[in-house]
Amino acid sequence: MSNLDLLLKNISSNEKYPINFAELEQAAKEKLEVGPFGYIRSSAGGEETLRKNTESFAKYSIVPRFLNDVSSLNTEITLFGQIYPHPLFVAPVGMNKIAHEDGEIAVAKAAAKYNFPYIQSTVSSYSIEEVAAATEGSTKWFQLYWSKNKEISYNIVKRAEKAGYKAIVVTVDTVMLGWREEDVRNQFSPLKKGIAKGNFITDPVFMASLPDKTEDSIINGIVDYLYHPSLNWDAIAELKEQTSLPILIKGILHPEDAKLAIEKGIDGIIVSNHGGRQLDGVVASIDALPEIVEAVDGRIPVLFDSGIRRGADALKALALGATAVCIGRPFVWGLAAGGQAGVERVLESFLQETKVSISLSGVSHVNDLHKLKVVKS
């Protein structure tokens, strides 16, 4: 559908629905109880990084070029030998049932419809196999939280590989949970409520590791699984021996860590601060990006998330050198507000605004976006 077609369809639909991030958040707030809403909205500590993530985008301004023929736009990117129709991904977000009963199934189906690769979280409400069965043929990656009990992690990775997932994303900024005051205020922990168990109760290695099969043991087992402060680079080398899939590290903020990742044979990185949910006060993700892109120097793909709220933000991250960007909270609000249809609306708008933004910047192939002039104030 062309931009004009979509605009006219939306304008003539006679339907009122949330359009931008603030409206989506408001619509979700009206649907959700205070605990789940707070869990999704909030971040760690005083939420300084949450604020910086979005505010920092305003420091970067695109300087467009005109009178280039932009009548056709090519948004295809190639990652690990596979062609992706556009550089927008769905970020791994766990425990989606707190937003909507259909949880990850609804999100993965919406992602499939708009060709957004779907990165499924370890702590999903639905299992790898359930999501795969609901979205046969669509591109999916798997996000791994590591465990002290490596055998469980390896088995989960094997299940993802068997289900046809195309890459493993190892999140390294969550070896313990960030300091999240809103959840204490609301006395809300989706982990403790058992909402993260989709991939665990279906895992024979995890279940065999428990003293018994009671709900309490399962939940304690998951909490124990997630706490892994001794995680280090050696573990990544071991994971490489366990899977033939490309491995990306999510949570890189320092150029030296990006270089180390390359040295250790990692296939890609995601520049991210987990949406400010882990260590408060860390650098805004968009501010960390340029130096990392420089350090990586095209050797591996550099994906990006944290703070992307609209297509124009995606354009800035791509112009600053990101290979692709991942959308987080906006789709979760879409899910809360309207289930699968709500996520579809968010993804369709994101895709369309990104395409319009690229074309209006004077670029007709995403691979040329790095040539775009960006000024920083």
Ligand X SMILES: Cc1cc2nc3c(=O)[nH]c(=O)nc-3n(C[C@H](O)[C@H](O)[C@H](O)COP(=O)(O)O)c2cc1C
Of 91-99, 153-161, 291-299, 338-346, which part binds ligand X (CB under 6 A)? 91-99
Q: Quick one: which of 91, 289, 337, 358 contacts ligand X (CB under 6 A)? A: 91
Task: Quote the least distance from Cβ 249 to ligand X, whole Å.
Answer: 11
**Residue 123 touches ligand X, criterion: CB under 6 A:** yes
Is 131 a binding residue for ligand X by CB under 6 A? The answer is no
**Shortest separation between residue 139's beta carbon and ligand X, angstroms:** 17
Q: Around 124, how many Cα atoms within 13 Å sit in the side-chain half-sphere?
A: 30
- Considering only residues 312 through 371, tell me which ones interact with ligand X, judged by CB under 6 A: 328-329, 332
Burial grade of 126 (CB within 10 A; 0-12, 13-18, 19 or more): buried
Residues annotated as binding site for glyoxylate?
39, 145, 180, 274, 277
Assess 305 for contact with ligand X (CB under 6 A).
yes
CA 191 to each of CA 58, 118, 214, 333: distance values in angstroms, whole numbers, following the listed order: 35, 22, 15, 20
Which run of H or E residues covers position 50?
helix 48-55
Residue 156 Cα to chain centre, angstroms: 19
Which of 75, 125, 138, 306 is the binder for ligand X (CB under 6 A)? 306
Residue 166 or 277 with smaller CB distance to ligand X: 277
Binding-site residue positions for FMN: 92-94, 121, 143, 171, 250, 272, 305-309, 328-329
Question: Binding string, 193-222, against ligand X, x = CB under 6 A?
Answer: ------------------------------
Report the C-alpha gap between 237 and 358 in whole angstroms.
Answer: 38
The answer to whether 142 touches 165, Cβ cutoff 8 Å, is yes
The yes or no reply on residue 97 touching ligand X (CB under 6 A) is: no
Q: Is 171 in the site for ligand X (CB under 6 A)?
A: yes
Q: Does 272 bind ligand X (CB under 6 A)?
A: yes
Single out the segment in contact with ligand X by CB under 6 A; choices: 110-118, 132-140, 212-220, 272-280: 272-280
Q: Mark 136-171 as b/e (b = at least 16 C-beta within 10 Å).
A: eebbbbbbbbbbebeebbbbbbebbbebebbbbbbb
Q: Quick one: 109 or 329, whose CB is closer to ligand X?
A: 329
E strand map for the chain? 60-63, 77-79, 82-84, 88-90, 118-120, 140-144, 168-171, 247-252, 268-271, 302-304, 324-327, 373-376
CB nearer to ligand X: pick between 87 and 94:
94
Q: Does 35 bind ligand X (CB under 6 A)?
A: no
Task: Report in angstroms how near the CB of residue 160 gets to ligand X at its nearest.
Answer: 14
Q: How far from 28 is each of 88, 102, 175, 345, CA to CA, in Å?
A: 23, 15, 29, 14
Q: Is 274 a catalytic residue?
A: yes
Among 35, 38, 87, 94, binds ligand X (CB under 6 A): 94
Which residues of the chain form contacts with ligand X (CB under 6 A)? 40, 53, 91-94, 121, 123, 143, 171, 250, 272, 274-275, 277, 305-308, 328-329, 332
Which residues participate in catalysis according to the annotation? 274
